[in-house]
A and B are shown apart, each in its own frame.
Chain A
Amino acid sequence: MAMPLHQFFTSTDYLLSLPMIMLALFGMGVLIIDLLLPPEWKRANAWTALVGLVFSAIAVYKVQIADRIAEAHGQAGSFVGFGGSLVADRFAIYFYYLFLAGAAIAILMSVKYLEIEREQHGEFYALVLFSVIGMMCMASGYDIVLLFVGLELMALSTYVLVGFLRRDQRSNEAALKYLLLGAFSSGIFAYGLSLFYGLAGSTNLGQIALTLEQHFLANPKDPVAILALLTTATGLLFKIAAVPFHQWAPDAYEGAPTSITGYMSVAVKAAGWALLLRIFLYMLYPLRPIYLPMIIFVSLATLTAGNLAALTQSNLKRLLAYSSIAHVGYMLLGLVAGNTNNASSTGIKGIMVYLLVYTFMNLGAFAVITSLRRRDIIGDEIDDIAGLMFKAPTEAILMLVFLLSLAGIPPLAGFWGKYFIFLSLIESGHYALATVAVLYAVLGLYYYMRIANAMFMRRAETAEPVSLSPGLRLALAITALGTVIIGIFPEVFLRAAAWSLSVPQASAVAGLLK
C-alpha cells in the first residue's frame, strides 16, 4: 500500500519536531565545525551550541503559539504528531523550556572549566545538545517506543559526558558505574514495558491505560500486571535516583566534570521526572491503588537515606548528590498527594514548581563549586570552599543564597517548591507524611549550613585566589536572579506550572490532572 509522503510527515509533525530538528542540526554542526577550528578557538563550539539552544527555544515558542491559536479555536491540547506517538502538550512545552535553560547554563559553566581540565573538545557540546533531544522525546513521547528511544539517547550521551575527563581515574570510574547501573535499569524498564505491551496489545500510552482500566476491573490482582508495574517503576526510580536504587548517584556525581554534575542533577533528573509523570499519570493511573503504598515507602526511604547520608559527607559534590536524593524524596511525596478523589492536582503542580526552582538553585550551587577548580586544585572538598568569604565575597554570598534556597527558607525560590508539596499533603489528609517531611527539611538545614560555616567562619586552606570566567559570571547571575525572583514574585511561575497541567492530552485518560 503506497502512501504519499505528506501523510508520513505532515506539517504538524514538522512543527512538533522542529525543536529537536534544530538541536540535531546544531549538534552535528558543532561536530563538523570542531574539525575546522584551531585548538585555541575551540571555545567557539560553546557559542554554536548556545545559538542552537536559542533556535530550539524559538521553535518551542512557535509550538506554544500554535497551541494558543488552537485553544482560540476550541481545540486546545490537540497537538498530536507522528501517528499519535508524539504530543506537544503544555506539560511537554514546560519541560522543553526547563531542559533548554538547564543545558544553556551548564554550557556557560563548562567553557572555562574544560580549558582548565585541558579537555576542550567540540564533542562535549554536541553531546549536551543530543542529550536534550532525548529529554524532549521523554517529555513529549506518547508511545513506549519513543519514550524508550528518548531515554536511551539521553542516557548514552550522559554516560560519555560523565567520563569526559578520560585521563582522570575518578571520571572514568564514575562513567563505568553510571553506565552499568544505567543500562541495567534500562533493561528492567524495557522488560516492564514489554509486559504492558503484552497486556494491552498496543504501544500507545492512552490505549494501554484504557486496556489496563478494564483489565484491572475484571482482575484486580493479576500477577503479570503487578510484575509489569514493579519492573517499570524500578526502572523509573533508578533514573531519578530514589532509594533503594540510588547507589549510582553519589559516585556518578562525584566523578563527573562539575558542570556535568550540575547538568545531571537538574536537566537529566527533570527528564527522568517527565518520563515518570508521563507514565504514572497517563498510563498507570488505573493501577494507582497498587503503586501508592510503594511510592509512600520509597519516598520515606529516600528522604531518610538522602538526608542522613548527606550529614557526614566531606566532599561538596557528594554532599549535594545526597541532598539531591533527598529532594527527590520530597517530590515523590507530591505524587502521593495527587489525589483522585478530591480532584486535586496541587501535588503534581508542586512537583513542576519544585523542578523549576531546583534547576536554578542547584545549578547556581554547582556554578560556585565549578569556580573552585583552579590549576592543581580539584576544589570539590568542603576544605576547598573554606574562607571563600575573604577571597570572593560576592560569590560566597550567592552560594549562601543558593544553600538557603535549597534548605527551603523563605523568601527564596526553594521555599515555594516545598510549600506546595507540604500543602498538597495536608490537603489530601496525609498529616503524618507532612510532619516527617517538615522535620527532614529542618535536618537538611544542618548540612547546608555546614558549607556556609566553612565559607564564612573558617580560614582559607590555600592562598590561591578564586577568579570567575565571563561564562561562569553569566551563569551565576542567571541562577541567582532565578532563585531570588521566583522567591519574591512566585505568581508568574506558579501560573506557568498550573498552565502546564491545564489541558492534559486525552483528558479522559489523565485522571489525576482534573
Chain B
Amino acid sequence: MVPISYYLVLSAILFACGVLGFLIKRNVITIFMSIELMLNAVNLSFVAFASYWQALSGQVFVFFVMVVAAAEAAVGLAIIIAVFRTRQTLNPDRVNLLKL
C-alpha cells in the first residue's frame, strides 16, 4: 500500500506549482488554471486524509470544492470576457487603470 506521506508530498508539490504559476504567469487564463491546480491539490490531500482516517467527511469536502471550483470558473470566465471586450487584452499588467 502506498503510504499517505506520498500523497501529501504530491499534494504539496501541486499546491506549490499552483502558487508559483499564480505569481509568475502573465495571462489571466493561465493564472486561473493555476488557481484550479491549487484547489485540486487541496482535493488530493482531503481524499488522502479521508482514507487515512476512514472518515467520509473529507470526501464530502472534496465534492463541495469541485462545485465551488466549477462555479468560480463560470464567474471568472464571464468576468474575463467582460474585461477582454473593453480592453482587447488578457495580460494583467495591461489591466492597470486603477493604480496600485
On A, residues with C-beta under 8 Å from B are 144-145, 148-149, 152, 156, 159-160, 163, 166-170, 172-177, 179-180, 183-184, 186-188, 190-191, 193-195, 197-198, 201-203, 247, 250-251, 254-255
Q: B98 — which chain A residues lie within 8 A by C-beta? A: 170, 173-174, 177, 250-251, 254-255
Q: B92 — which chain A residues lie within 8 A by C-beta? A: 176, 180
Of residues 40 to 96 in B, which have CB atoms within 8 Å of A's CB atoms?
41-42, 45-46, 48-49, 52-53, 55, 57-58, 60-61, 64-65, 68, 71-72, 75-76, 78-80, 82-83, 86-87, 92, 95-96
Q: A163 — which chain B residues lie within 8 A by C-beta? A: 79, 82
| Complex: A170 Cα to B55 Cα, angstroms | 47
Of residues 5 to 39 in B, which have CB atoms within 8 Å of A's CB atoms?
8, 11, 15, 18-19, 22, 28, 31-32, 35, 38-39
Closest A residue to B40 by CB, please name it: A187
| Complex: A195 Cα to B57 Cα, angstroms | 14
Partner of B58, one of A180, A184, A191, A203: A203
Contact present for B64 and A145 (CB under 8 Å): yes
B97 at the interface (CB under 8 A from A): yes
Contact present for A172 and B53 (CB under 8 Å): no
Contact present for B79 and A198 (CB under 8 Å): no
Closest B residue to A152 by CB, please name it: B68
B100 at the interface (CB under 8 A from A): yes
Contact present for B39 and A190 (CB under 8 Å): yes
Partner of A180, one of B11, B31, B60: B31
Q: B11 — which chain A residues lie within 8 A by C-beta? A: 194
Contact present for B42 and A179 (CB under 8 Å): no
On B, residues with C-beta under 8 Å from A are 8, 11, 15, 18-19, 22, 28, 31-32, 35, 38-39, 41-42, 45-46, 48-49, 52-53, 55, 57-58, 60-61, 64-65, 68, 71-72, 75-76, 78-80, 82-83, 86-87, 92, 95-98, 100
| Complex: A160 Cα to B8 Cα, angstroms | 34
| Complex: A513 Cα to B79 Cα, angstroms | 42
Contact present for A173 and B95 (CB under 8 Å): yes
**A160 CB to nearest chain B CB (Å):** 6
Q: B61 — which chain A residues lie within 8 A by C-beta? A: 144-145, 148, 193-194, 197, 203
Counting from the closest, the 10 A-B pairs by CB-CB distance are A187-B38, A201-B53, A198-B49, A194-B45, A190-B42, A203-B57, A251-B98, A152-B68, A172-B83, A183-B35
Which among A186, A194, A197 has the greatest number of chain B C-beta atoms within 10 A? A194
Q: A188 — which chain B residues lie within 8 A by C-beta? A: 19, 38
Contact present for A170 and B97 (CB under 8 Å): yes
Closest A residue to B58 by CB, please name it: A197
| Complex: A250 Cα to B46 Cα, angstroms | 34
Contact present for A156 and B75 (CB under 8 Å): yes
Q: A251 — which chain B residues lie within 8 A by C-beta? A: 98, 100
| Complex: A179 Cα to B29 Cα, angstroms | 12
Contact present for B97 and A184 (CB under 8 Å): no
Partner of A187, one of B18, B53, B82, B97: B18
Closest B residue to A171 by CB, please name it: B82
Contact present for A191 and B38 (CB under 8 Å): yes
| Complex: A342 Cα to B75 Cα, angstroms | 47
**B59 CB to nearest chain A CB (Å):** 11
| Complex: A197 Cα to B80 Cα, angstroms | 34
| Complex: A443 Cα to B83 Cα, angstroms | 38
Contact present for A145 and B60 (CB under 8 Å): yes
**A39 CB to nearest chain B CB (Å):** 22
| Complex: A335 Cα to B75 Cα, angstroms | 34
Contact present for B79 and A176 (CB under 8 Å): yes
| Complex: A168 Cα to B85 Cα, angstroms | 11
Q: A149 — which chain B residues lie within 8 A by C-beta? A: 64, 68
Contact present for A191 and B57 (CB under 8 Å): no
Contact present for B45 and A198 (CB under 8 Å): yes
Closest B residue to A251 by CB, please name it: B98
Closest A residue to B53 by CB, please name it: A201
**B77 CB to nearest chain A CB (Å):** 10
**A157 CB to nearest chain B CB (Å):** 9
**B55 CB to nearest chain A CB (Å):** 6
Contact present for A176 and B41 (CB under 8 Å): no
**B86 CB to nearest chain A CB (Å):** 5
**30 A-B residue pairs with CB within 8 Å:** A148-B68, A149-B68, A152-B68, A156-B71, A159-B75, A159-B76, A160-B75, A169-B86, A172-B79, A172-B82, A172-B87, A173-B95, A173-B97, A173-B98, A179-B72, A179-B79, A180-B28, A184-B35, A187-B35, A187-B39, A187-B42, A193-B42, A194-B11, A194-B61, A197-B49, A198-B52, A201-B49, A201-B53, A202-B55, A250-B98
